[in-house]
Amino acid sequence: MAQPSITLFNTLTMQKEPLVPLEPGAVRVYVCGPTVYSYIHVGNARTFTSFDVIVRYLRYRGYRVTYVRNYTDVDDKIIKAAKETGEEPVALAARFVEIFREDAKALHMKEPDVSPKVSEHLPEILRIIQTLVDKGVAYESQGDVYFAVSRYPEYAKLSKRNLDDLRAGERVQPGEQKREPLDFALWKAAKPGEPAWDSPWGKGRPGWHIECSAMSARYLGESFDIHGGALDLIFPHHENELAQSEAANSKPFAKYWMHCGFLDMEGAKMSKSLGNVVRLRDALVKVDAEALRFFFLSTHYRHPLNFAEKAIADAEQRMEYFYETLRKVDERVAGKDFGKGPLHGEPEKFLRDFETVMDDDFNFAGALGGLSGLFTLMNELVDKPPVKDKALVGRTLQALREIVGKVSGVLGLFEDDPAQWLLRHRDRAVKERGIDVAEVERLIAQRNDARKAKNFAEADRVRTELKSKGVEIMDTPTGTTWKVAPPATEAAPV
């Protein structure tokens, strides 16, 4: 079976390239995971969501994927945070690993095949450091071990930075024992009160960059297909990973490098150092997780995305529109047999178009744009079918619904029961707007009585009263339902 023609943008070559795995039919992926010293912010979540979809799509297209995403649980930031909370660093890191898993699950992320922790891979880390020392590409200095950048001629081939400019901008900081400003730590000598492990150079702990080189080699081999992360990891983290891995193993490290764009807030990159972060856990209290995932996918993964209140509100309204459509379709076709026969139009074209845009560097936004047409057709077939053949309409709706299921398995959207999602969405809106549910139900019952008595003027009056309370009612074949109408200042989904 021929593999699909997927192209992806490779940061190493700065151009789109066809995906040609090192092993035919198999793709090995490594993504730099969270440093678990605090809650991740929504910018981190966008990156991890993007790679979740990329991995899902590769599997959908028939590849055998091995997906590794690590946890950095040994780090300066963890040590600092533990001192502030009074916890042991290992315990604090373990707590935030579990918090991350909970938040990732809420965002419909699938667990990677392997989620290694730095603290559990010290033997692999020590081996690669020793190899670099033996090759003369690294050196020990008063218990620290540094990578000698000058001994690796291809340094900066990923970030494309000018070495002279880098040298001019770097200084040896107090407490550092390195020979040159650009040299970076592979091993840090132990300090009082910090976690430490035995090594040939004395007690200490690994530097930040070496961990990913060791863990990727452990689970994916010394050469693998895709290395991913956010744009801010290109330098120095990914540059240093590449240098030390290729210097140690004398072979190419990752064939393709993929990087996600920043999530901006008021025109600035979201980061803890700037103090302009929105924690994912806080966002999930106010925003439906699936709507937030939809928002992350609404722009190409390489492009910047602005985290704005209106954009999030629009995403929630779009998700409500999608789930309302699916509820109507399910009520019409679930469990029914419309027999075999022709379909209206060409439903499979939506799936082919989805694959075409996703094959082109995983264009999430293009895929969502194609879904809009699919949902428009489903609404048309339910509300104003262009043909009178009910069996043909039913078969077509079932075919379209099956396509939604295939697409949702890739995007991680529309995986919930429509009625349950809509009820949760309504409950959140009710609380936010202070709507009296008992009063709404009483008025709906009053309207139903008026309709049965053919008192349509009274029924219209009640509808108007409900509307003034921010409630929109819908009459369906199974009865009257209601939702909280969007505020007048917000545009309804189209």
Q: Is residue 95, in this structure, part of any structural domain at all?
A: yes
Task: Compute how many other C-beta atoms are within 10 angstroms of the C-beta atom of residue 389.
Answer: 14
Encoded amino acid at 265, one letter: M
Q: Is 138 exposed, middle or buried (0-12, 13-18, 19+ CB in 10 A)?
A: buried
User: Which of 473, 399, 361 minimizes the C-alpha distance to 17?
Assistant: 361
**For residue 364, which amino acid is it?**
F
Q: Which of 236, 36, 204, 219 is nearest to 126 (CA)?
A: 204
Q: Which amino acid is at 305?
A: L
Instruction: Indicate whether 426 belongs to any domain.
Output: no
CATH number where 390 lies? 1.20.120.640
- What is the spatial distance between Cα 101 and Cα 272, in angstroms, rounded to a whole number? 20
Is 300 inside any structural domain? Answer: no
Write down the pLDDT at residue 86.
Answer: 94
Whether 438 is in a domain gets the answer yes
Q: Exposed (0-12), middle (13-18) or buried (19+): which is 387, by Cβ within 10 Å?
A: exposed
For 467, other C-beta atoms within 10 Å of its C-beta total 12
Q: How far apart are the C-alpha atoms of 405 and 417, rounded to whole Å?
A: 12
Q: Domain boundary residue among 389, 416, 443? A: 416
pTM of the entire structure? 0.92
> Taking the CB of residue 111, how many other CB atoms lie within 10 A of it?
12
Residues 204 and 323 in one domain: no
CA distance linking residue 177 with residue 189, whole number of Å: 10
Burial class of residue 382 in the structure, from the number of CB atoms within 10 Å of its CB (0-12 exposed, 13-18 middle, 19+ buried): middle
Q: Are residues 271 and 206 located together in one domain of the fold?
A: yes
Split into its structural domains, the chain has a count of 3
Shared-domain flag, residues 77 and 142: yes
The per-residue DSSP string of 127-180 comes to: HHHHHHHHTTSEEEETTEEEE-GGG-TTTTTTT---HHHHHHH--PPTT---SS
- Answer for the pair 71, 118: CB distance below 8 angstroms, yes or no: yes
**DSSP codes, 24-74:** TTEEEEEE---BTTSPPBHHHHHHHHHHHHHHHHHHHTT-EEEEEE-BB-S
**Token representation of residue 443:** 């008025």
Residue 494 placed within a domain:
no
Strand partners, 269: 264
Q: How far is CA 104 from the centre of its chain?
A: 8
Residue 129 sits in the same domain as residue 221:
yes
Domain co-membership, 251 together with 337: no
Q: Is residue 409 part of a domain?
A: yes
Residue ranges making up the domain that contains 339:
309-416
Whether residues 41 and 153 fall in one domain = yes
Nearest-angstrom CA–CA distance, 353 and 324: 24
Same domain for 156 and 236? yes
State how far the Cα of 21 lies from the Cα of 27, in Å rounded to an integer: 6
Residue 34 region by backbone torsions, left for phi larger than 0, else alpha for psi between -120 and 50, else beta: beta
Q: Which residue has the tokens 């509100």?
A: 313
Asked if residue 332 and residue 273 are part of one domain, the reply reads: no
Decide if 4 contacts 355 (C-beta within 8 A). Answer: yes
Binding-site residues for ATP sit at 272
111 in the same domain as 201: yes
d(CA 362, CA 157): 25
Longest dimension (CA), the chain: 92
The reported pLDDT for the residue numbered 174 is 54
Enter the DSSP assignment of 420: H
Are residues 211 and 108 both part of a single domain?
yes
CB atoms within 10 A of CB 11: 21
**What six digits make up the tokens of 71?**
């946890």
Residues in the chain where the model's pLDDT stays below 50: 489-494
287-306 tens-digit pLDDT: 999 999 999 999 999 999 99
Q: Looking at the DSSP assignment, which residues form a beta bridge with residue 114?
A: 68
Last residue of a domain, one of 286, 318, 344: 286
Binding residues for Zn(2+), as ranges, are 32, 212, 237, 241
Residues 329 and 377 occupy one common structural domain: yes
Please give the structure tokens belonging to residue 273: 């150092």
Q: Record the tokens describing residue 293, joined without a space.
A: 């995932």
Q: Is residue 366 part of a domain?
A: yes
Q: Report the C-alpha gap between 363 and 298 in whole angstroms.
A: 10
- 458 is a domain residue: yes
* Binding residue positions: 32, 212, 237, 241, 272
What's residue 493's pLDDT? Answer: 37
**CATH number, residue 251:** 3.40.50.620
Contact, 343 vs 395, CB < 8 A?
yes
Angle value at C-alpha 319, between 415 and 58, nearest 5 degrees: 45
52 and 154 assigned to the same domain: yes
Give the residue among 370, 348, 324, 377 at the shortest CA–CA distance from 493. Answer: 324
Residues 6+ apart with CB under 8 A from 340: 395
pLDDT of residue 164: 81
